[in-house]
Amino acid sequence: MAQARTLSGKELKQLLNYIAFRKHALRNRVMLLMTHFAGMRVGEIAGLRYADVLASDGAVVPEIRLSAEQTKGSRSRIVYVPDKLRKELLNYIRTYPCKQLDQPLFYSQKRYYRGYFTANTLTQLFHHLYRSAGLSGASSHSGRRTFITVLSRNGVGIRVLQALAGHRDIRTTARYIEVDDAMKRAAVELV
């Protein structure tokens, strides 16, 4: 099975521009950015509650503490939230304020059914958004692969990448990193 493709900065902008003029634009933008800016899995995003992202003072937390039930592999982990993603989340929460801290952070449009996303329904939504934006080969894992690859290009060590991704095996992390000619050229210039 082919790996999900990574996106360039230009392609991410293309995707966000496509989303901006569609139904549920803000929700979809924030969910996609959680994969690209924090390396979260779709199942982790689908399982988020307001309580996971809000501090007692109403601010967005700098670290999301995921329980074992919210993660793949049933191991709790911490997701570090960069400032630019915290701003996106704050904008979303101001637009869709919390009524109860234990309610899902992201509702699906079928509120009358269950009202929240599952990993499967969110995977399908991401696939549709990428395809509709003209980004063939991209999938729900593209943001996560892009997150890890961009950090690697910027010199972040593989052990740190492993911890950020929540991988048990460093070989899994290594498979996420897409190596291109620019990375190889930059590497040999370090000699």
The residue with greater pLDDT, 111 or 118, is: 118
The secondary structure of 56-71 as a DSSP string is TTSPBPSEEEE-GGGS
- Each domain of the chain, given as residue ranges in start order, spans 9-144
- Given a cut of 50, whether residue 94 has pLDDT beyond it is yes
Please tell me the least confidently modeled range out of 42-51, 104-113, 157-166.
104-113
Phi/psi region, residue 24 (left: phi>0; alpha: psi -120 to 50; beta: rest), is: left
pLDDT in tens, 21-59: 999 999 999 999 999 999 999 999 999 999 999 999 999
- pTM to 2 decimal places: 0.91
pLDDT of 158 > 90? The answer is yes
The second-level CATH assignment, the architecture, of 9-144 is Orthogonal Bundle (1.10)
What would the mean pLDDT of 63-85 be, rounded to a whole number?
A: 92
Q: Calculate the average pLDDT of the chain.
A: 92
